[in-house]
Chain A
């Protein structure tokens, strides 16, 4: 009985009711602080190889000597093909692969996105494992043009030379597939889709030649002639999916341990391994993960649970192409050792240096805390909307000295006599808030559809119109709601409550899939928690609404575009491309989760 009454009393405790806003703010603060703590030595870990079978760097590499002459020969051949059409290039490549004694096949593909057509022809050659049975395969990709549309001259020549070189070895336990795609974005996707027979349109041909389950893929992106200094590893996949950390660690340990080549990531060319640099690397990684677009030909492999990375040599140094070839040889020898699919190490991690990472268990709470903030506020608003709005009457009644109406509370066999107003619950008018929230959520489909179905030339204009509309729309909607329905404060609270509840729910589930995106959206949406109608203070309202407009998805996209000096149309084209071809769902999140909540 005591417990019961104290519980009910606690519910009415004014201190408790005041707590949630502070609590939710604390959640955000702790969430951000948590993230900032991660680069410290105590919170991040050194990377290590989990899968013992990989044995990185344990084998001697033999890719040297006269193979360099062969490489130079192929280099001349590849250089001579620069500027030729896709078909001419593939005819020649087919000849090279066939001369090496490999089976060659081609695949035509065609994608349409944002009014543009992306087409081309992939060519690939399969080196059958000498004693294997087509059950497993590893892929070596050299895109003809890399993501920056540069001609991958040394990369393709290296693929050709390695194909010849690998053919001599009899130790392969897995087939090796050499894939040359005309571009770095549509080609690999078409190939991987067709490999798993999931290609969406008949414009993408099925593969005439197949091997077994893909166990890993390595991409060479070497678009210059000179020697290089270090190796840049790109590992982000589509939708923020990442390859197994073991693959990354293998390459790092081979390159830096066996070959003495420095390894960097996230374009941090000179990493000093101090707090600032680590944090910067991590944040860059998070931003890339949050955007969820493909960062190289390897990205298309990752959604199919094929661990893949891109190796980009950079800088001016003394490492030559053969050193790059030896890194790949050693990596392939390691992958060849694998008896099982890469499964041991982490799939969810944030890297802050080539030798340091944090795993999901350590970083997840920060995004969860940000998401929880919305949930706490939603519950708070729900409770608040349900409690009688009767401060004045209460004061009045105690003033008059009349006893408050009592009520008998029963819980099991416990009975308590309490003032009625404590237990009294106001009836909530749910229909309007639910309709409004559901309406705005469905409205999110509209921009999603518009931006993925307009042509490239129109995209910028459409976006501009949309951005302007977007600033006006909330006023318009709220005005029309006020005019037509005349909602009460309670209904306002409920609208907000539902909206925040949904946001919290979406974000916390998203955090387990794409941590960075959830965190970023959560952060941008955080101010929404503290917005409430402020009648009678027009200046503050204007300032606030301006602020909110600054944090609108459209405004953030624009700001991002200006900050990185990109072309808006290109960005939107890229986004539409991602949606159409890679199955990227960042947009879904932006337009269907963030935008409605913002509204």
Chain B
């Protein structure tokens, strides 16, 4: 099924062609219906800037905010991913862009930083993460040394770095599996685009729809390219948004999103059932209905094309068989691809563009590309002390073996027993591990990094198992909502240019009862107060015998008052005497 890759490559090449020819900006939306009742929307925005103008801070299509951060942090190549949800490889086939434009759940960032020493690289990485954190409203500043790894086999820099820079490049990789990607990340993302979500395909991007998707991924890649040899280098920024929308869900009106039971007359029943009657219904397959329009799916039609694009560019493509009816509006020109499953539209500027796919009974479907590998990862065991991780990797190909690198970066409190790492191939112990890079964790300093190069023969399943021990954290080290557990970042599987990420995991650690410190504080304070009161009392108070103590009954007061009075009178008399003597 490499046909699809071909299309994609074709599209990309098309984009490249345009880029190098005249404009430095291109955008592309690919819509691909997926089974059952889903739609993949792939947005791709690409612009180039020449290296000289970038160095001189002469930004045109390249966003200034990002460019200055990259320059300040000496970052030569940057990859940032925001992802949510899970790609259903069984139904949806291979991932868009071969998985190269997606990350694990949450935020994933890796960059090649130019620095002379490791320490300097760490410093620049810190600058970079903090600056990006502000730019994208994400907690990227929490990527500290415990979450940063330096992968050895999984990631490769772009080919177009100059040799001098290549020698000083440091790859740093960090993930935040717990980060929830949401609208606040989309807004800055759109701001980086030249058309800023006002025109062109980016006008379809709406937080409500994007974050209601079954799966979505936003990515930013900045890398150098040298299309015409090392002399003429450019810096390229590619922003993509991929999302899989549930057609049924997206079609619900925005003011009434609750999936109430449909009215009885709208219920689609199997009337062939013997018991079918007015109040009994065997429901029909909900996945059959696949009519949709752009307005239904994205909430509104596309607001013209981005004027910064070239004339003759085709920003919207739909991957459906040619036999499928597709109606468009707004003076769009349809261009069908000769492969039979792809058509693209050239849009008129300034006019709203709408695509409608009506209900149609069509047996033919655009072919799905089979993924190279199915990967699934889960925890085994139970309890608060130990656990295990099990990764099931299946090579579906009947003819070809697959070589790949499996990378895990685990937090330090998950103490891996490497000796328990075992790979079973089709249920028997097998020697599939070719090479392994392991960097053990240091408590509170850095996490475990594990990279395994493996080869799975055709039509086989490898089960990778290892055990770990759960560390006990200090109570200040727990995040808020500690009883939720800790998210463990997705494992990254790299097969040449294709990459696959597993789902992330939820690790529950022994968690203290956090009301306990509070109780202890209260109790200690009480004891302290009592002790202090006693000691203070002892120090300050004067102790006298009961008979020595001044008595304070009425008689005593009276006597005392009398005495006072007497002294005053006495003094008065004295004064009088003095006066008399004078």
Residues of A that sit less than 8 Å from B by CB: 62-70, 72-74, 76-77, 99-101, 103, 128, 130-136, 164-165, 167-170, 196-198, 210, 212-213, 304-305, 339-341, 343
Contact = CB atoms under 8 A, between A and B. Distances in A.
A101 B286 contact: yes
A77 to B, nearest CB: 7
B375 interface: no
18 contacts: A67-B261, A69-B281, A70-B283, A72-B280, A72-B281, A73-B269, A76-B275, A76-B280, A130-B212, A130-B214, A133-B86, A169-B259, A170-B212, A212-B503, A304-B382, A305-B382, A341-B484, A343-B511
B390 interface: yes
A64 B505 contact: no
B298 to A, nearest CB: 16
Contacts of A69: 264, 267, 269, 279-281
Please provide the 8 A-B residue pairs with the shortest distance between their CB atoms, ordered closest to farther.
A197-B380, A65-B261, A340-B483, A168-B259, A73-B282, A69-B281, A135-B506, A72-B280
A50 to B, nearest CB: 11
Nearest to B513: A343
A167 B287 CA distance: 12
B487 interface: yes
A102 B141 CA distance: 38
A153 to B, nearest CB: 14
B388 A70 contact: no
Contacts of A134: 86, 503
Contacts of B505: 135, 212
B380 A131 contact: no
Interface in B345-379: 376, 378-379
Contacts of B506: 135-136, 212-213
Given A69-B279, A74-B282, A197-B381, A131 B214 contact: yes
Interface residues of B, number: 57
A66 B267 contact: yes
A291 B273 CA distance: 48
B2 interface: no
Contacts of A77: 282
Contacts of B248: 168
A76 to B, nearest CB: 4
A570 B275 CA distance: 41
Interface in B378-434: 378-382, 388, 390
B253 to A, nearest CB: 14
Contacts of B211: 131
B376 A62 contact: no
A197 B484 CA distance: 22
Contacts of B262: 65-66
Contacts of A164: 283, 286
Contact of B379 (A65, A168, A170, A213): A213
B52 interface: no
Contacts of A128: 86, 88, 214
Contacts of B275: 72-73, 76
Nearest to A130: B214
Given A128-B88, A339-B484, A340-B484, A62 B382 contact: no
Contacts of A132: 85-86
Contact of A73 (B214, B283, B287, B508): B283
A74 B269 CA distance: 12
B504 interface: yes
A371 B12 CA distance: 78
A598 B260 CA distance: 64
A66 B261 CA distance: 6
B297 interface: no
A101 B211 CA distance: 21
A70 B267 contact: yes
A164 B282 CA distance: 12
A213 B485 contact: yes
B72 to A, nearest CB: 33
A103 B484 CA distance: 26
Contacts of A196: 380-382
B13 to A, nearest CB: 34
A62 B246 contact: no
Contact of B281 (A73, A103, A339): A73
A213 to B, nearest CB: 5
B218 to A, nearest CB: 14
A168 B287 CA distance: 12
Nearest to A193: B382
Given A170-B212, A340-B481, A340-B482, A73 B273 contact: yes
A76 B273 contact: yes
B139 interface: no
Contacts of B86: 128, 132-134
B213 interface: yes
Interface in B26-65: 36-37
A427 B388 CA distance: 54
Interface string B263-291: 11011011001011001111101110000
Given A69-B264, A69-B269, A130-B212, 4 more contacts: A62-B259, A67-B261, A70-B283, A168-B259
B508 A213 contact: yes
A131 B85 contact: yes
Nearest to B388: A197
A565 to B, nearest CB: 38
B261 A62 contact: yes
Contacts of A76: 273, 275, 280, 282
Contacts of B279: 68-69, 72
Contacts of A304: 382
A101 B287 contact: yes
B316 interface: no
Nearest to B36: A101
Interface in B462-482: 481-482
Nearest to A192: B382
Nearest to A344: B483
A76 B283 CA distance: 12
B300 interface: no
Nearest to A213: B506
B448 interface: no
Contacts of B282: 70, 73-74, 76-77
A270 B506 CA distance: 43
Contact of B264 (A65, A131, A169, A213): A65
Nearest to A60: B258
A170 B264 contact: no
Contacts of B280: 69, 72-73, 76
B417 to A, nearest CB: 16
Contacts of B161: none
Nearest to A164: B283
Contacts of B508: 213, 341
Contact of B84 (A73, A131, A168, A305): A131
B105 interface: yes
B495 to A, nearest CB: 22
A101 B508 CA distance: 31
Give the residue among B286, B287, B382 with the most A Cβ atoms within 10 A: B382
Nearest to A79: B275
B150 interface: no
Nearest to A68: B279
A212 B263 CA distance: 35
Contacts of A74: 282
Interface string B197-226: 000000000000001111000000000000
Contacts of A305: 382
Contact of A339 (B36, B263, B481, B511): B481
A130 B86 CA distance: 8
Contacts of A168: 248-249, 259
A340 B486 CA distance: 11
B90 interface: yes
A304 B378 CA distance: 16
A214 to B, nearest CB: 10
B332 to A, nearest CB: 31
A162 B485 CA distance: 29
A507 to B, nearest CB: 25
